[in-house]
Chain A
Amino acid sequence: MLRSVKGLIRQGPKLDSGYFFHVSARAWLSAAVNQDARIPAEKPRAIFRTNESNPANHAEQHDGQHYSIPLQEVKVVFPHGLPYHFQMQMKTFNETCLMVRKPALELLGYLKNTNFAHPAVRYVIYGEKGTGKTMTLCHAVHYCAKQGWLVLHIPDAHLWVKNCRELMQSSYNKERFDQPLQASTWLKNFKTSNEHFLKEIKTQQTYMWSKRESTEEGRPLGEVVEQGLNRVKNASDAVGVVLKELKKQCPLGSFRLLVAVDGINALWGRTALRKKDKSSNGGAIVTTLSQTGSLFKPRSAYLPDELLGKEGFDTLDPFIPIQVSNYSQREFESCYQYYLDRKWLQHEKACAEEGRKELLFLSNANPWQLGRISAYL
């Protein structure tokens, strides 16, 4: 699985347009999207919320504001993409709200202007810990899903590389190992998000799963996914097949592919296990760098060349870097008002000016830190 994604990335420029590489680093709790940046002395609800729920229409004036995603869409678009803490927030507040921020707007601008005739462009979203990389990626994924692209979302590449409980030697290639658990969960989520595509895309060659089972040429991709789900042993092979098919068929232009990988630096770092999944190459890539799950890297490293290593940097090169930083004054204000509105900040002193200044000081406008502190206040 990983090898295939790596291959995809390596062959990025050769792929036809329509593939976008978005790499988003894991962001913790950066999701606190305030609908409308609150401007004091205006109507309370107007500032930190916006009613514009289609990411395609997000523009400069929405910067710092929260927009909400209805529950049905969340289940379809993000079966596995959102960080754990954000999912808990969703459950508590009974709604899903994402903040529109400048890096996301920049990324959406690039996506809108993509020229599908050219090879796919790669984007690397990087930034310090907890600044909002994963949420930016999720914003982009939502936009692409709304536009009707086929989304290949890998929530955390580090999970595929380390701490594997079940290892099986791959039947496809003797040197590689499979991860059946991860592969089967990923296939299930892939199926949820891209139902209609699976029926349309046809396989281009025959695949033999075992002596008795095989998928003929020209069958819909949904069958491959089903095969992977039913037979856990072949799950990684199924993932590989899916990626390979998508990669081959993307140039044909019938659909647009977005590959969103979280924690791309996992693919090139030193692995705790000698694990390589099936190689299949496929679609566009948006990736994020994540220091959190990466092995053998110091905590302060957040720049692309530090986290990717030489090999990874060369493979990903050339790419467009997008930096995500801490909240600006406006965004912080927005987030603060959103928390107050949703009753997340309960301490009686938190509503006062003193409390707000102290929150700003303690968190340094870092979204993750702000979320952690407001949790117990």
Chain B
Amino acid sequence: MAAPVAGRLGALGRRLAVPVRAWLPRLTQVRWSRYGPIYLDPEVNKEVYRKPLEELSEEEKTQKELKALQPIKATPSNVTSSVFSDPTVSKFINMMMKEGNKVLARSIMTKTLEAIKRKQIEKYYQASEEEKESIECNPYIIFHQALKNCQPIIGICNIKKGGKTYQVPTPLKDNRKRFLAMKWLITECREHKHYRIFMHEKLSEELLQAFNNEGPVIKKKHDMHKMAEANRAYAHYRWW
């Protein structure tokens, strides 16, 4: 949608005098890509290339032919064809990163996963036979489940009407929910814990608490739900 807007704007600007573009600042794009619409995304998954020709469905065959003809974008450096790569974990690392120090953020994430795994395995070996079934040792499953537990269902939006700002309950997109969950986790660890404890220890503790549906981040999610419930009278202020 941005490309046609820019195109139209460019055409408009070309027909009128150049200063016209400055008159419509809200329609110009801030983030744009050097790739045009014809460029396709790269396929990093090795399994897709290993499938023999007979197993492909019709649409996959057409897609494959298309890829032979159309240009493909370059792969970003944080995307790998490793079987262990996880997009959610990558997103979380990016959000934890400060001043572009990806090495540090990634090492904190790996230490967090290791800490979670150690705690769970220790609990596993101390537990009795019946409890052993219920203890989850996989740090990735714990991470995903904890994030899911922290995601709010309904959000709050500030809408100004008649000089007053109202907190109006709104539905949230999936991306926004995931972003809020990660943001709450990271801010909770950064601000409300003692600064001398390592980040990976704080994070592992928070994640384990969130996995069990307890802890301050879950409380924050519930607070948001309560606010939305309290302000349901203003729900009709929303126009989208």
Contact = CB atoms under 8 A, between A and B. Distances in A.
A binds B: yes
B122 A349 contact: no
Contacts of A376: 109-111, 113-114, 117, 139
Chain A: number of interface residues, binned into ranges: 20 to 34
B117 A346 contact: yes
B137 interface: yes
B183 interface: no
B121 A92 contact: yes
Given A343-B137, A347-B140, A375 B117 contact: yes
Nearest to A350: B84
A349 B84 contact: yes
Interface of A is mostly: loop
A137 to B, nearest CB: 26
A357 to B, nearest CB: 9
Interface residues of B, number: 19
Contact of A347 (B84, B114, B121): B84
Contacts of B140: 346-348
Contacts of B110: 375-376
Interface in A352-373: 352, 354-355, 358
Interface of B is mostly: helix
A342 B121 CA distance: 9
A151 B41 CA distance: 63
Contacts of B121: 92-93, 342-344
Interface in B55-111: 82-84, 109-111
Nearest to B85: A349
A94 interface: yes
A358 B125 contact: no
B179 interface: no
A350 B137 CA distance: 14
B184 interface: no
B122 A92 contact: yes
Interface in A232-275: none
Contacts of A347: 84, 138, 140
A358 B85 CA distance: 12
B83 A346 contact: no
Nearest to A349: B83
A344 B114 CA distance: 10
Interface of A: 88, 91-94, 342-344, 346-350, 352, 354-355, 358, 375-377
20 contacts: A91-B122, A93-B121, A94-B122, A94-B125, A343-B121, A343-B137, A344-B117, A344-B121, A346-B137, A346-B138, A346-B139, A348-B138, A348-B140, A354-B83, A358-B82, A358-B83, A375-B113, A376-B111, A376-B113, A376-B114
Interface of B: 82-84, 109-111, 113-114, 117-118, 121-122, 124-126, 137-140
